[in-house]
Amino acid sequence: MTNGDPSVVVRDLVKRFGDFVAVDHISLEAQRGEIFGFLGPNGAGKSTTIRMLCGLLHPTSGHATVAGIDVAREPEKVRQQIGYMSQKFSLYNDLRVIENLRFFGGMYKVSSSALPERIRWALDMAGLTDRESAITGTLATGWKQRLALGCAVLHRPPILFLDEPTSGVDPISRRQFWELIHRMAGEGVTVFVTTHYMDEAEYCNRLVLIYRGQIVASGSPTELKQRAMKGELLLVECEPLGPALETLKSAPGVMDAAVFGDALHLVVPEASEAVHTLNSYLSERGIRVKKIETIRPSLEDVFVSLTTTHAQSAPDRRPQ
C-alpha cells in the first residue's frame, strides 16, 4: 500500500499574516495510497496549510513538495496534480449532473478525447449513470457528495484534498463515500482529509492533530488513543453527581474530571490504582458509587489532554 517516495513532504512550513502566526513550523510526510488526516478545531491552521499545499497561498517560510513539485516555486503545476473537494461541495445546483462534470473537466484541462471516458467513470462511481440529466440541486446530499468527488478527480490526480467531506452527512452515505475513498487509496491516490469531526478522523490511516498552528500529535487513530493520551480514562457512575464532580476535581491523583451524560469521566495517571483509591475516597464523602471502570479514550479525550498541556506550556501568541 505505501511504497516509494512520499507524495507529500512538508518541512517547517510557516505562514504569517502580519503578527499572526497561522501555521507554525509544521512538518509531515504522506505516502502514496495513504489516507492522511488533519484534525483540529476551526482556526487551528488546517485550511491555511491546505491552501499552501494547493499552491493557493505563498508560504512565509519552510518547504513543501506535492507530487515532487515545490509549491512555492511552481504553484500552477501543483494544481494539475491535485483534486480538491470542498465542504458543502461547490457544485452548481442549477446545472445538470453532466454539465457539472463537463465544467470541471474543462477546469482541470482533461483532454477532449479522454473526457467522455472519465465522465462515464465518474457517473458509474457515483451511481448516477441513469441520472446524468438530473438537475444537481435536486439530488440528495449523499449523491451530491459522490458527484463532487467525481468532479474532483476527473483528471486523475495523484493527490486528493478533502475538506470536511462528510460533515452533517447521514452515516450510510458517509460509509459509501469512504468506501470510494478507500478504493482510490488502494489504487495509489494519496488522500488528505481536513476535519474537526473527531469521528471522521477514525477513517484515516494516519492523523496529525493541529492546534493553534502547531502539530501536537501524530500517528494512527489507534496509536493516538493508546499512547498519546496522558494518563488513563475512567468512567464513574455515582450519586449524587454534582457534588461528586466537585470533590473529584480537587481529589489527589485526578488530572481532569468532567460530566458525561449520567456519569463522570476522570483522567488519572494509573487506572487500576485509581479505581481502588477512588472507591473509598467517594464513599467517605457520602457518595454512592455504582460503577467505576476503565474506558478507552476517544480522540477528543486525547485532543483535550494534549491541548490543555500544550496551552499551559506555551501561552497563545495569537490575538484572541
Residue ranges that bind another protein, judged by CB under 8 A: 1, 35, 37, 40-44, 141, 167-172, 175, 178-179, 182, 186, 196-199, 201-207, 211, 220-222, 242, 258-262, 296, 298, 300, 303-304, 307-308, 311, 319-320
Which of the 8 DSSP states describes residue 44? S
Q: Which is nearer to another protein, 117 or 316 (CB)?
A: 316
CB 196 to another protein: min, Å? 6
CB 155 to another protein: min, Å? 25
d(CA 152, CA 154): 6
CB 183 to another protein: min, Å? 9
d(CA 79, CA 52): 11
Q: Which is nearer to another protein, 136 or 298 (CB)?
A: 298
CB 198 to another protein: min, Å? 7
Residues 6+ apart with CB under 8 A from 70: 63, 64
CB 60 to another protein: min, Å? 22
Q: Are 54 and 79 in contact (CB under 8 A)?
A: yes
Q: Which is nearer to another protein, 116 or 137 (CB)?
A: 137
* Exposure of 194 in the CB half-sphere (CA atoms within 13 A): 22
d(CA 33, CA 155): 17
Which stretch of DSSP H or E encloses residue 268? Answer: strand 263-268
Q: Which is nearer to another protein, 123 or 292 (CB)?
A: 292
d(CA 191, CA 131): 27
Q: Which is nearer to another protein, 51 or 79 (CB)?
A: 51
Cis peptide preceding 240, ω within 30 of 0: yes
